[in-house]
Each structure stands twice: as structure tokens, then as C-alpha cells.
Amino acid sequence: MRRLLPVTDQTAAAPGTEHPGGAAREWSLDELAEAYAYPADTGSGGAWLRANMVSSLDGAAQHEGRSQPISTATDMRIFGTLRALADVVVVGAETVRLEGYRPARARDAFAGRRAAAGQGPAPAIAVVSASLELDFSLPLFTAPLVPTLVITGAGAPSDRLAAARQAGARVVIAGDANAVDPARAVRELAGLGFRRLLTEGGPRMLGQFVAAGVLDELCLTLSPVLTSGDAQRIVGGPGLAEPERFRLAGLLEEAGFLFARYRRI
């Protein structure tokens, strides 16, 4: 992998070489963790929300219902690093259902870093759902290292709420009716001590967080494949009245995959 941006002494092309970013080499997990570190100051709201998404060249967020066909081993390495840096991973219920989500695991490679940052052994997973039509017998709810959170509205079905609690999930109410208010969800999570937030989508949930103006950062993998078809884009839902500008904060490259980091201006 090569770092293309920001340009540093180490990444600038050596005289006489054609390689901006220097020669490609495998990065250690420590180097990846440094490159993707959360800002020390998580902002006035107390929390920093970053999304990690992968897209094909033609904008598809999945192929045949899964993101794996447009991903790569290095993308999954970054995916794992981003998880290891997060306090909580916020994810939409449909992604949990389709991708068969499991609890996050503790990884030796990040144990020291997490301990030093005052974090538990693994991030919590927080599932955003209105219907609570989730299989609460799955290990995601019954056997996580840290309790899985279920973020829903005050009008969620009471029997499903009871099932979630009985399975061991921590219920967070972040909406007056069934729907979750994204800004309130971020506030509630910050209030519970979750400040380094990561969302892994999916597009419909992410679209609502974008529309609510609470997304601080987008880690976007651009995969060098075309898929055509009618797959969703990485962010879905109603269009914004005004396009929201982000600035490029970092860019890595490997084997034609671009790993970009954009921050809200």
C-alpha cells in the first residue's frame, strides 16, 4: 500500500522514480491505526461519527446483496482497524440481517491501544431498527464481549423490546415514535460514553444520518470494478437540498483500490 495524501517527506516521489507515495509495501496494523486515528477533540457534541463504506467505480454499494464482492483483503484490514479504533459500531438493521452480523471481537494487536484510550476490549455493536424484527437468539445479542445496543424509537413494539432486553441487549430510545432521530442517537450514545462512533451503513440508514448533518467523516473505499445493475449507492434516501461538501483528508492506494478519508468542511 502507498500513501498518496497527505504528502510527507516519506511519501513524496523519490527523485527519478514514478511512484508518488513511494514503493508499495504492506502496512502494519499500527501504521493503519495511526493513519485512521480519531481526532483528539471529538467536537462540541462530544462525539465524532465516521462512516466506512465501499463503492464500485459506478457507485454500487453491493453486488448481489453483499458488499464482499466489491471489497478486498486490504479493505477488510482497514475495516477491522476502524472497528478497533471505535467505541461503538452503528449499523442499520437490514445490513445486520443481510450480512449476518456477529459481535466484534477483541484483537491482541489493538489491546494496548484500546486500553490506553480507556476503551473496553472490543467496540459495542449498535443496531438501528424501528421494527425490531431482529433474531435475538443470535450470538450478536446473546454472546457479545460488550452488550449489543439496540437503538429504536419510543413507539417500538413492546414485545420486541422485551425480547431484545431478555436477550441481553441494551435498549437506547432515540426517537419519539418508531423512527430513530439520528442527531438524538448520536447524543444518546455520547451520553453513554460512546464518543468514537463508526457506522458501517447500510445506505438507507446512512442517508438519514447524512440528512441530519451528523456525519463528520467518510472513509470511502473506491473499488476498481464496474457492476452496472441497480444496486444502491453508499448513501440512500431523499436528496439533500444543498450538496454537502467534504474535504479530502487522506488517500491510500493498493492494487488500484483507493482508500480515501473525507472530513466535513
Ligand X SMILES: NC(=O)c1ccc[n+]([C@@H]2O[C@H](COP(=O)([O-])OP(=O)(O)OC[C@H]3O[C@@H](n4cnc5c(N)ncnc54)[C@H](OP(=O)(O)O)[C@@H]3O)[C@@H](O)[C@H]2O)c1
Nearer residue to ligand X within complex by CB, 29 or 98:
98
> Which residue in the set 20, 22, 157, 236 belongs to the binding site for ligand X (CB under 6 A)?
236
Record the cell numbers describing residue 220, joined without a space. 470511502
Angle between helices 203-211 and 182-191 (to 10 degrees): 90
Binds ligand X (CB under 6 A): choice among 202, 210, 218, 253: 202
The contacts of residue 191 (CB under 8 Å, 6+ apart) are none
The x, y and z cell numbers of residue 109, run together, are 494487536
The least CB distance from residue 183 to ligand X, in Å, is 11
In the bound state with ligand X, the residue whose beta carbon lies nearer, of 119 and 134, is 134
User: Does 92 interact with ligand X (rule: CB under 6 A)?
Assistant: yes
C-alpha 223/C-alpha 234 separation (Å) is: 13
Comparison of 128 and 198: residue with beta carbon closer to ligand X: 128
Member of 179, 183, 192, 249 binding ligand X (CB under 6 A):
179
Q: How far is the CB of 142 from ligand X (least distance, A)?
A: 18
Distance separating alpha carbons of residues 194 and 161, to the nearest angstrom? 22
Q: Which residue's C-beta sits nearest to ligand X?
A: 202
Does residue 234 belong to the site contacting ligand X (CB under 6 A)?
yes
- Binding residue for ligand X, selected from 3, 47, 49, 67, defined by CB under 6 A: 67
CB 32 → ligand X: shortest distance, Å?
18
Query: Contact at 8 Å (CB) between 228 and 87?
Result: no
**Do 142 and 167 form a contact (C-beta atoms < 8 A)?**
yes
Cα–Cα–Cα angle for 18, 23, 26, rounded to 5 degrees: 155
- Cβ burial of 61 (10 Å; 0-12, 13-18, 19+) is buried
Q: Is 93 in the site for ligand X (CB under 6 A)?
A: yes
Of residues 114 and 200, the one with the C-beta less far from ligand X:
200
Binding residue (CB under 6 A) for ligand X from 8, 28, 131, 166: 131
Site string for ligand X, 2-41 (x = CB under 6 A): ----------------------------------------
Q: How far is the CB of 150 from ligand X (least distance, A)?
A: 10
In this structure, how many other beta carbons lie within 10 angstroms of the beta carbon of residue 174? Answer: 21
Segment contacting ligand X (CB under 6 A): 92-100, 106-114, 140-148, 157-165?
92-100
- Kindly indicate which of the ranges 8-16, 27-35, 90-98, 249-257 contains the residues binding ligand X, using the contact rule CB under 6 A: 90-98
Task: Write down how long the chain is.
Answer: 265
E-strand stretches of the chain: 2-5, 48-56, 88-92, 124-128, 149-152, 170-173, 196-199, 217-223, 246-254, 257-264
How do 217-223 and 48-56 pair as beta strands?
parallel
Query: Interface with ligand X by CB under 6 A: which residues?
Result: 53-54, 61-62, 65-67, 92-95, 98-99, 128-131, 133, 179-180, 200-205, 208, 232, 234, 236
